[in-house]
Structure 1
Amino acid sequence: MTRTIVVGMGRSGLGAARLLKQQNRDVVVFERGDNDALQQIAKTLGQEGIQVALGQPLTPESFQTWRDGLDAVVIGPGIPWDHPTLLQLRSDGIQVRGEMDLAWDALRQIPWIGITGTNGKTTVTHLLSHVLESSGLKAPMGGNMGLSAAELACQIASGATPQPDWLVMELSSYQIEAAPTVAPKIGIWTTLTPDHLERHGSLEAYRAIKRGLLERSQCALFNADDPDLRQQRSSWQHGTWVSGEGARPDGQPADLWIDAEGMVRNSTTTLFAADVLAMPGSHNRQNLLLVTAAALAVGLSPQQIAASLSTFPGVPHRLEHLGTLAGANVFNDSKATNYDAAEVGLKAMQGPVVVLAGGQTKRGDASGWMKTLETRACSLILFGTGAEELANLAKAAGYPGELLQCQELETAVNLAAVAVQRQGASALLLSPACASFDQYRDFEARGEHFRALVQPFLDAA
């Protein structure tokens, strides 16, 4: 029997291993770590008939014992596609594929809506799934958030999840790169700004990966308000372009837009009022339009779309309103893991704002965020390993507000609770502008911790 090795025991790796086992494949899971928690997971997998090899780094030597019958290696998105060991395996004739590629083979009979972009994709994924589900369709979401694609495939195959009408899948550049056959029925590109350059090497390489997904999509939807996408527009022969800035963003006609009266409309008719979606910020008007364009392509009526948008509760960790503290609105924007996302979140606030930021810094242009901090933030409280670097950026930019530094988020929240009252702030915003991996396993864990820390300070409802 041929064997497949799955590398890593993260969410994607576990999903891939279980999907392969469900398909009666001989599967072994490699995990470089070895601790009590991993041993417990390994024990559970063993009871399911899945072998696990702990303490196995991603080196050619780790594969030697398992080479007999090995025909494929499956990786999760955390592993670079061009890792030297993967290059060696390919040269030896062994197939290397991403978890998303494996899931695509299992789920391609169901139409996919693939959502990518630097920022906005999580909100669009949640919002679109909600609109489709609220209109009576089965449209579970997954991929880069929530359930991994392989986990979703397992649930559908087992009957635990009813057969979907559509799959709403958030796709990161890492996942697209390792799944070059994924071809959605509808593709959505939200934004493009420099991100993950440590992994992809250049903005051009990063852009090309995302572009490939849209080129393989039967129906391609674009945000005409994004400067990078707008520059690409002439290179696209097909596609639907949406704009929150009016009928002719940058002189090019939009296919779906919000007019001066705040109405969503297309070239033939007015659809509904944009304020049916109660989420702050111009970026959410763009998200609304992309979701509307996709829902129309699916076949929903404007009335169904508007009714569903009006009941959307919001996205956890993305400008998530937690309550008030001394009268100031408190928002959890832990999903803002880069400068551009943090700038978007801050622009959605009414100043003055106490801002919590920090974590593991990324390459990128912080100038836009710094300018917005200058005009909106009365206090900037920095935490984590990137605090010093961010403080130096703020000082170099001439940030005029209060600037505080600490190591832990708990201390930052305590400082913020005092600063809100001292500054008479209208909002307290956790919007880190950094990855979470210095202190947390992911941005969700960081957001959950913030929610728990700030809870005792919130005003009684």
Structure 2
Amino acid sequence: MYEKYNSIPNFSGKKILVVGLGLSGIWTVRWLAGHGASITASDTKPERDIDSTVIKELRELEVTLETGGHKAETFLGSEMIIISPGVSNDMDLLLAAKKRGVPVIGELEFAGRLIDTPIIAVTGTNGKSTVTTFMGLLLENAGFKVFIGGNIGTPLMAHAAGGKKADYAVIEVSSFQLDTIETFCPFVSVILNISPDHLDRYNNYESYVQSKLRIFENQVPGQYLIINDDDERLCSIDSSQGVSVLRYGIEEKVGRNAFIRDKRIRVCLDGLEDRAFSFEAFVLPGRHNLENLLALMLAGMTLGIDPEVIQKTVDQFKGLPNRLEQTSEVKGVLFCNDSKATNVDAAVRAIASIDRPLILICGGRHKGADYSPLVRAAQGKVKRAIFLG
């Protein structure tokens, strides 16, 4: 088992720097303030661009605020630095602090050391939020108390600071969070897929892939890694540390634990009776959502959830907003909001899931990916494209 704090260290008077004042940073500050730390919070945004209620709360907690940029003396003079996911861990000031021997960890790593709740961690380039929410609903339907969060909106640090007990923590985990782990160790890790993304932050695609694969680096025998066997970067993955590796894919193949046969999902686990599930009532479109469903069912059976509860949850789940969300239909024209498709692969999968001619509206920020897969996907399906931004 990975190393946690056996007892909470004495943070009283300790000089802690929290970098980044998003939700992760704010919850980290709240926890540290409750344990007597001497806290500085630093953010590149000027104070006027930070929510005034946040500023008011931090001042009431007697936090020293540094906004509009970072100060070298603060980084170098801290006893510990905790960074938010949006902060690059190769920032020059962080590298200088590490060289001086200042411990630098991420919010996810810090929270993981503070809790003893079994963690189900979901990562991948696409589908993380859907599967995290779906998994949380499944556990709640099975009667468990569940914390649902992570990169999906409510940071794990909120669970650590909130004081509410949970049977499981189901968390979405980003590559940025995995970049800063040291001992973080889920009970169940799920990797949905990997395709080029965030190449404006990583030196190359392989660096991004290796970041995603860190999710299971601390797992041990008795824990589980669930991977998409249809993904070309995941199908060859194995674990050298004895973790139980479970595989899923659309077609039945040797070594797969979940697949589709005769229009039903089959889940096959050692020591358990093989189970078949219907997905007739499952409303989310596209092959990618079937892959996500396979991951969900495999995780549910691994956790020993009653198959009837799994089937009920599948039948009632309607998906999340902004993900191929059918907003209206006017004179036979269907309008879909897929604004959470923030990378090329997500857009390609969305186009593939629509069975009628498309008018595609695209925009956003370039993150270094190759757009040729999107061009190929659009050929013969997209009648017009509108580009914004």
Are positions 1:121 and 2:128 aligned together? yes
Does the 8 Å contact 1:259/1:265 carry over to 2? Answer: no
TM-score for the superposition, normalised by structure 2: 0.89
Does the 8 Å contact 1:139/1:166 carry over to 2?
yes
Answering whether residue 216 of structure 2 is matched by residue 180 of structure 1, we say: no
Partner of 1:60: 72
Match of residue 59 from structure 2 = 46
Show the counterpart of 2:15. Answer: 3
Instruction: Give the Cα separation in 1 of the matches to 2:51 and 2:323.
Output: 34
Partner of 1:147: 154
> Are the counterparts in 1 of residues 75 and 81 from structure 2 also a CA contact under 8 Å?
no
Please name the residue that 2:328 is paired with. 323
Aligned equivalents of 1:83, 1:308: Cα separation in 2: 43
- Separation in 2, partners of 1:343, 1:39: 36
Provide Cα deviations, 1:123-153, integer angstroms capped at 9, x if missing partner.
Answer: 1111111111122111221111120111232
Distance in 1 (CA, whole Å) between partners of 2:237 and 2:75 is: 43
For residues 101 and 365 of structure 1, what CA distance do their matches in structure 2 show? 32
More helix by share: 1
2:55 corresponds to which letter in structure 1? A
Q: Deviations over 1:349-395 (max 9, x none)?
A: 122111110111122232222112112212211101xxxxxxxxxxx
Aligned to 2:209: 207
1:94-140 deviations in Å (ceiling 9; x for gaps): 11111111111222x10000111111211111111111112211122
**TM-score for both structures, normalised by structure 1:** 0.76
Deviation at 1:286, TM superposition (A): 0.8
| CA apart distance, 1:61 | 4.4
Any unmatched runs of 5+ in structure 2?
1-12
Cα distance in 2, alignment partners of residues 28 and 59 from structure 1: 11
Measure the CA separation in 2 of the matches of 1:236 and 1:325.
55
In angstroms, what is the RMSD of aligned CA positions?
A: 2.0
Question: In structure 2, do the counterparts of structure 1 residues 331 and 236 end up closer, same or farther at CA, with 3 Å as the change threshold?
Answer: farther
Find the partner of 2:37 among 25, 39, 53: 25
CA positional deviation for 1:15 = 1.6
Contact 1:276 1:306 in 2 (8 A): no
1:145/1:170 contact within 8 Å kept? yes
User: Where do 1:1-400 residues align within 5 Å?
Assistant: 1-38=13-50, 40=52, 41-55=54-68, 57-63=69-75, 67=77, 70-107=78-115, 109-155=116-162, 157=163, 162-217=164-219, 218-232=223-237, 238-244=244-250, 246-248=251-253, 252-266=254-268, 268-384=273-389
Inter-partner Cα distance in structure 1 for 2:96 and 2:239:
39
Question: Sequence identity, in percent?
Answer: 29
Deviation for aligned residue 1:216: 2.4
1:16-74 Cα deviation digits (max 9, x unpaired): 1112112332212112222434272212221233332223x23524546xx2xx21011
Name the CA shift for 1:366/1:231 in 2 (closer, same or farther; >3 Å). farther
The 1:359–1:99 alpha-carbon spacing in structure 2 relative to 1, beyond 3 Å, is same
Deviations 1:423-458 (A, max 9, x none): xxxxxxxxxxxxxxxxxxxxxxxxxxxxxxxxxxxx
Between Structure 1 and Structure 2, how many residues are aligned?
A: 369
Q: In structure 2, what is the Cα distance between the partners aligned to 1:264 and 1:375?
A: 34
Q: Distance in 1 between matches of 2:241 and 2:339?
A: 34
